[in-house]
A and B are shown apart, each in its own frame.
Chain A
Amino acid sequence: MNPLLMKFAIGESDGSGLFKIFQSEADMNPIVNPTVFNSVVLVLVLSVFFIICGNAVKKADPTKPSRGIVLLLEMLVTGIEGLVEQTMGLKHLNFAPFIGTLAAYLVCANLLGLLGLSAPTSDYNVTLALAVITIVVMVGSGIKAKGIGGYLYDTYLGDFPFLLPLNITGELAKPISLSFRLFGNILSGGIIMSLIYQALGWFSPLIAPALHGYFDVFSGVIQTLIFIMLTMIWSQGAME
């Protein structure tokens, strides 16, 4: 790979490259923006991994108890389906593939900070795109369930027509709050970690692992959960 591209993709390993997210748009090629590059690489890796997994599942013998990667995948699928069923009801189990995809991407993207890379979700482009996808799914499923007229009436007028301005503001705030919540959480973790690394220098390995555990692992998993929960709750609300 082109070494220049590698440098852009990885950034400085101490995290000081993080502050350049906002600053160096002029001297950085926008196509190989590190977070977007990391995101594309992550999507490719996940695709290849799940294609291999799918082949393994197809070859597996259903009469024997599953083990290894097949067992892991069964647990993953069962967990996601259980979550969707618990939140949205058995009727909307067809949302499970979408929710599972979102969860797999978001968990891996948030945990990328552990490898010293800049997490894709610390770029507002990525989180805004994810929020727009969620809103399109929400509006689309609402229109599919109730028709355009029914969806607009239920969402904006409902029983209390004088609440129309409030409803419009609330609907506009949904993608903004969804994207900024994820972006702010992951970016704040990255900035605090880079400040720790810069302040402590060679002593940072003493304290950094615990903070990585909180800011990357705990915060990343919780924010993934919040994102998919809100997606499910809003989609179900649009359909009823």
Chain B
Amino acid sequence: MFLETVASSISNEAFVLGMSAVGAGLAVCSGIGTGIGQGNAAGQAAAAVGRQPEAKGDVMQMMILGQAIAETSAIYGFVVAIILLFINPLVSSL
């Protein structure tokens, strides 16, 4: 009943745009895994520096490099969200 009223009252473009926004929000959820992974790497690096304080420079460099590479999946989600929001590829296929 409610869905029928909604479906008859909004236009196709508005529906696709709204769903694109929802999809963009879902795509940015890929940052969850990245956050967990980066936090894990930082914790391990802290433990490594605690065990071996003289290797701080090497550990730091390796941690930042690994974290930046682990960030890739979040970046992919972000790029998908940006494409959905600003280029609107789905509207043209109506």
Residues of chain A at the chain B interface (Cβ within 8 Å): 19, 21-23, 177, 180-181, 183-185, 187-188, 191, 222-223, 225-226, 229
Contacts and interface: CB of A to CB of B under 8 A. Distances in A.
B36 to A, nearest CB: 19
B14 interface: no
B75 A180 contact: yes
B75 A229 contact: no
A183 B75 CA distance: 9
Given A177-B72, A185-B71, A222 B78 contact: no
B86 A183 contact: no
Contacts of A187: 82
Interface residues of B, number: 13
B65 interface: yes
A180 B64 contact: no
B65 A181 contact: no
Contacts of A191: 82
A34 to B, nearest CB: 16
Given A19-B86, A22-B86, A185 B75 contact: yes
B75 A226 contact: no
B62 to A, nearest CB: 11
Q: Which 10 A/B pairs are nearest by Cβ-Cβ distance?
A: A184-B75, A22-B86, A226-B68, A184-B79, A184-B78, A22-B87, A181-B72, A181-B75, A188-B78, A222-B68
B76 interface: yes
Nearest to A177: B72
Given A22-B86, A177-B72, A180-B75, 10 more contacts: A23-B86, A180-B72, A181-B68, A183-B79, A184-B75, A185-B71, A188-B75, A188-B78, A223-B68, A226-B65
A65 to B, nearest CB: 28
Contact of B69 (A21, A22, A183, A226): A226
A180 B79 contact: yes
A229 B65 CA distance: 9
12 contacts: A22-B82, A181-B69, A181-B71, A181-B72, A184-B76, A184-B79, A187-B82, A188-B75, A191-B82, A223-B68, A225-B64, A226-B69
A184 B71 CA distance: 10
